[in-house]
């Protein structure tokens, strides 16, 4: 399990909060692959000021690109402030490849697991056995919903209708 | 304090710009924030004809090594680093290097080499004809050399000494996509395909690529087991129309026109389970099988019996652990053992279900636990015993299982 210094932890919280405060003027590719560590999932929930869709992927997940593409297209078409975050579970050390992947470029933020994948998975959802894409719909208020594969259209539309900051 | 806040704000502004894409292009930016790269823990293990336990895996630098033990893991010989040139080796979970022993002192080691294009790979093999003292340079196993998926290989020698290699292959999906694109047909080819070949010289050369089945799942390991007749049987996750990810069975070389459906969880899923099955021969005929699946909304690892042709026999049973994952099964005579790992939020437990009567009754055993990062358990059966080999970040656990 990774241990982080307090300033680094606060920096990541500020990063996350900043991502919420500054609405993207245009769809912009993430240029930094952030480490998804033990506290990252909790920070997603605590600091979210606008709803998020988090897609957990792997580099050999052949279903993931289409799900990411469809989510990105739906979010863009809705002009929503919904954030699309992609977490590549086996992406550590593959920053160049991840940045070059056109699917990941559609995310607002890109993370890679940094630590014991089993423990990180458990933090997200103890019932998750590693299926990818694993999609979490995180509203600002209310429970997070998890889906193996593409989320149902109704669930995504419901999240898209929630105004930011609500 | 002011300096700290100012520093944080500056760092936040800079990082935010990069994070949300408003900063300048900095191709090295990821190196500062990126997750720490590490070599995969996944190993292959097998017992040699002389009784030595061998394993193959990656060291912390990503180098492929073999190591052997004459006392079932109490002590280990020095690691032997293998020369694989510039190859990279997938060693993460379902994708792992493998080792197998054949006749005439032959040893083979296989691995998947990921290629530069995403979701692609080729299967490579090292062979030895001096009991593993030295290895020939790696060769590509399959004749198809497209930069596409050739991954998740499994391999085994049959009783006559023929080496069988079987893998997941996307050549048919690629061909179907091209064909459909030309015809503006968007129906798509579900999943990948299972291909295999044979080597009659211990992995030095290979026969033609032979299709076993269309429409396999794309991301799960393939289980192999010796048949009573000395052949090799395979069990893999399949995509039954339209999107049911249950399991299919075939005896290599005797493949029926359509694969035999071996499980009926009816798991409709357009995603990658990353969770392949296990298979072992039953003394009273047929096979013991384990697999992960979601049946009527209940995700579990299940145990079932298969007839000699792969048809399910009776109801499948859930393992007695709702957090069980990546189980494996092995048999030796009437002994049957199923081992799995289970994470409780703090530690990973290695557990087993053990039977002395060919799977009629099972008792549960706690084998080990660890708070370290760890691999899936690997089971090995010899005529005398069943072993489970479990690699954690700092240790290799070798645990004999007896009823």
Q: Does the distance separating the beta carbons of A101 and B219 come in below 8 Å? A: no
Closest partner CB to A122 (pick from B23, B31, B345): B345
- pLDDT at residue B196, as a whole number: 98
Nearest to residue B169, comparing CAs of B186, B144, B188? B144
Contacts of B323 in chain A (CB under 8 A): 126
> Would A166 be classed as within a structural domain?
no
- pLDDT at residue B183, as a whole number: 64
- Vertex B369 angle, CA B365 and B370, to 5°: 165
Q: Does the distance separating the beta carbons of A118 and B374 come in below 8 Å? A: yes
- Tell me which residues of chain B, numbers 109 to 148, contact chain A at a CB-CB cutoff of 8 Å: 114, 116, 118-119
Contacts of B274 in chain A (CB under 8 A): 58, 61, 130-132
Closest CA–CA distance from residue A155 to any residue of chain B (Å): 17
- pLDDT at residue A94, as a whole number: 80
> Would A135 be classed as within a structural domain?
yes
Q: Does the distance separating the beta carbons of B292 and A15 come in below 8 Å? A: no
pLDDT 10s digits, A26-68: 455 677 899 999 999 999 888 778 899 999 999 889 899 999 9
- pLDDT at residue B118, as a whole number: 81
> Would A16 be classed as within a structural domain?
yes
Q: Are A105 and A30 in contact (CB under 8 A)?
A: yes
Beta bridge partners of B355: B336
pLDDT 10s digits, B274-311: 999 999 999 999 999 999 999 999 999 999 999 999 99
Q: Number of structural domains, chain A?
A: 1
Closest CA–CA distance from residue B66 to any residue of chain A (Å): 24
Long-range CB contacts (< 8 A, 24+ apart) of B320-327? Answer: B320/B353, B320/B364, B321/B351, B321/B364, B323/A126, B324/B300, B324/B351, B325/A129, B325/A130, B325/B275, B325/B292, B325/B301, B326/B93, B326/B275, B326/B292, B326/B376, B326/B377, B327/B278, B327/B290, B327/B292, B327/B301, B327/B377
Q: Are B232 and B224 in contact (CB under 8 A)?
A: yes
Contacts of A93 in chain B (CB under 8 A): 34-38
Q: Does the distance separating the beta carbons of A114 and B15 come in below 8 Å? A: no
- pLDDT at residue B216, as a whole number: 97
Q: Does the distance separating the beta carbons of B274 and A32 come in below 8 Å? A: no
* Contacts A–B by Cβ distance under 8 A: 169
Closest CA–CA distance from residue A74 to any residue of chain B (Å): 19
> Would A69 be classed as within a structural domain?
yes
- pLDDT at residue B56, as a whole number: 98
Does B356 contact A at CB distance below 8 Å?
Answer: no
HEC states along chain B? CHHHHHHHHHHHHHHHHHHCCCCCCCCCHHHHHCCCCCCCCCCEEEECCCCCEEEEEECCCCCEEEEEECCCCCCCCCCEECCCCCCCCCCECCECCEEEECCCCCEEEEEEEECCCCCCEEEEEEEECCCCCCCCCCEECCCCCCCCCEEEEEEEECCCCCEEEEEEECHHHHHHHHHHHHCCCCCCCCCEEEEEEEECCCCCCCCCCEEEEEEECCCCCCEEEECCCCCEEEEEEECECCCECCEEEEECCCCCCCCEECCCCCCECCCECCCCCEEEECCCCCEEEEEEEEECCEEEEEEEEECCCCCEEEEEEECCCCCEEEEEEEEECCEEEEEEEEECCCCEEEEEEEECCCCCCCEEEEEEEECCCECCCEEEECCCCEEEEEEECCCEEEEEECC
- pLDDT at residue A29, as a whole number: 65
Closest CA–CA distance from residue A101 to any residue of chain B (Å): 8
- pLDDT at residue B87, as a whole number: 95
Q: Does the distance separating the beta carbons of A22 and B271 come in below 8 Å? A: no
Q: What is the pLDDT along chain A (166 residues), one digit of tens a residue?
A: 333 444 445 445 444 444 444 334 345 567 789 999 999 999 988 877 889 999 999 988 989 999 999 999 999 999 888 999 999 999 888 887 888 888 898 999 999 999 999 999 999 999 999 999 999 999 988 899 999 999 999 999 988 886 544 4
Provide the residue range defining the domain that includes A89.
Answer: 6-21+30-161
Cα(B34)–Cα(B14) distance, integer angstroms: 16
- Tell me which residues of chain B, numbers 65 to 94, contact chain A at a CB-CB cutoff of 8 Å: 92-93
Low-confidence ranges of chain B (pLDDT < 70): 1-37, 181-187
Hey, of B3, B5, B35, which one would you mutate to test binding to chain A, going by the most A CBs within 10 A of its CB?
B35
Contacts of B34 in chain A (CB under 8 A): 32-35, 92-93, 95, 112
Closest partner CB to B21 (pick from A14, A31, A132): A31
- Tell me which residues of chain B, numbers 255 to 294, contact chain A at a CB-CB cutoff of 8 Å: 269-275, 292, 294
Q: Does the distance separating the beta carbons of A130 and B274 come in below 8 Å? A: yes
Query: Which strand (E) or helix (H) includes residue A137?
Result: strand A134-138
Chain Cα centroid distance, residue A22: 17
- pLDDT at residue B23, as a whole number: 29
| CATH 3.30.360.10 applies to domain B47-327 | no
- Indicate where chain B has its CATH 2.120.10.10 domain(s): 47-327
Nearest CA in chain A to B20: A30
CATH number of the domain where residue A123 is located: 3.40.30.10
**ipTM score of the complex?**
0.86
Does A57 contact B at CB distance below 8 Å?
Answer: no
Residue identified by tokens 């007839």 is B307
- pLDDT at residue B157, as a whole number: 98
Cα A112 to Cα A75, A103, B20: the distances in Å are 22, 15, 16
Closest CA–CA distance from residue A166 to any residue of chain B (Å): 22
Q: Does the distance separating the beta carbons of A112 and B35 come in below 8 Å? A: yes
> Would A1 be classed as within a structural domain?
no
Under DSSP, the state recorded for A104 is G
- pLDDT at residue A35, as a whole number: 95
Contacts of A35 in chain B (CB under 8 A): 33-36
- pLDDT at residue A49, as a whole number: 80
> Would A118 be classed as within a structural domain?
yes
């Amino acid at each position: 399990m990774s241990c982080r210094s307090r300033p680094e932890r606060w920096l990541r919280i500020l990063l996350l909060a900043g991502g919420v405060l500054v609405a993207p003027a245009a769809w912009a590719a993430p240029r930094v692959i952030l480490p998804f560590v033990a506290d990252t999932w909790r920070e997603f929930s605590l600091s979210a000021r606008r709803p998020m869709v988090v897609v957990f992927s792997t580099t050999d997940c052949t279903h993931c690109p289409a799900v990411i593409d469809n989510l990105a297209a739906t979010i863009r078409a809705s002009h929503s402030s919904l954030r699309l975050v992609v977490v590549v579970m086996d992406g550590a050390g593959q920053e160049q490849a991840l940045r070059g992947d056109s699917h990941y470029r559609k995310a607002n933020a890109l993370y890679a697991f940094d630590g014991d994948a089993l423990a990180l998975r458990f933090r997200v959802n103890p019932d998750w056995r590693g299926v990818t894409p694993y999609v979490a719909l995180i509203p600002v208020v209310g429970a997070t919903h998890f889906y193996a594969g593409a989320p149902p259209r109704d669930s995504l539309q419901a999240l898209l209708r929630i105004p930011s900051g609500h | 304090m002011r300096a700290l806040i100012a520093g944080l704000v500056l760092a936040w502004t800079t990082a935010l710009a990069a994070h949300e894409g408003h900063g300048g292009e900095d191709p090295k930016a990821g190196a500062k924030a990126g997750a720490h790269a590490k070599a995969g823990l996944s190993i292959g293990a097998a017992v040699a004809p002389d009784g030595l336990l061998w394993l193959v895996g990656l060291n912390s630098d990503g180098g492929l090594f073999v190591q052997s033990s004459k006392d079932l893991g109490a002590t280990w010989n020095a690691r032997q680093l293998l020369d694989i040139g510039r190859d990279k080796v997938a060693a993460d979970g379902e994708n792992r290097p493998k080792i197998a022993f054949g006749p005439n002192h032959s040893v083979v080691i296989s691995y998947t080499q990921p290629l530069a294009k995403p979701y692609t790979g080729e299967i490579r093999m090292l062979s030895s004809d001096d009991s593993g003292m030295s290895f020939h340079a790696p060769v590509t196993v399959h004749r198809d050399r497209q930069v596409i998926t050739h991954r998740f290989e499994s391999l085994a020698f049959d009783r006559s000494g023929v080496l069988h290699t079987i893998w997941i292959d996307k050549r048919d999906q690629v061909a179907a996509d091209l064909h459909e694109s030309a015809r503006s047909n968007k129906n798509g080819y579900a999943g990948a395909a299972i291909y295999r070949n044979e080597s009659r010289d211990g992995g030095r050369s290979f026969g033609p690529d032979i299709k076993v089945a269309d429409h396999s799942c794309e991301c799960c390991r393939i289980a192999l087991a010796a048949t009573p007749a000395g052949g090799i049987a395979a069990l893999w996750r399949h995509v039954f129309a339209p999107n049911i990810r249950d399991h299919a069975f075939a005896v290599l070389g005797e493949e029926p026109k359509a694969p035999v459906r071996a499980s009926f969880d009816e798991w409709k899923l357009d995603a990658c389970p990353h969770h392949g099955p296990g298979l072992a021969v039953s003394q009273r005929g047929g096979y013991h099988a384990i697999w992960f699946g979601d049946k009527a909304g209940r995700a579990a690892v299940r145990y079932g019996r298969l007839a000699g042709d792969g048809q399910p026999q009776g109801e499948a049973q859930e393992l007695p652990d709702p957090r069980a994952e990546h189980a494996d099964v092995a048999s030796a005579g009437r002994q049957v053992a199923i081992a799995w790992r289970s994470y409780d939020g703090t530690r990973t437990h290695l557990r087993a279900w053990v039977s002395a009567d060919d799977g009629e009754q099972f008792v549960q055993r706690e084998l080990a636990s660890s708070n370290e990062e760890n691999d899936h358990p690997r089971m090995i059966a010899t005529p005398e015993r069943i072993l489970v080999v479990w690699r954690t970040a700092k240790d290799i656990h070798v645990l004999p299982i007896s009823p």
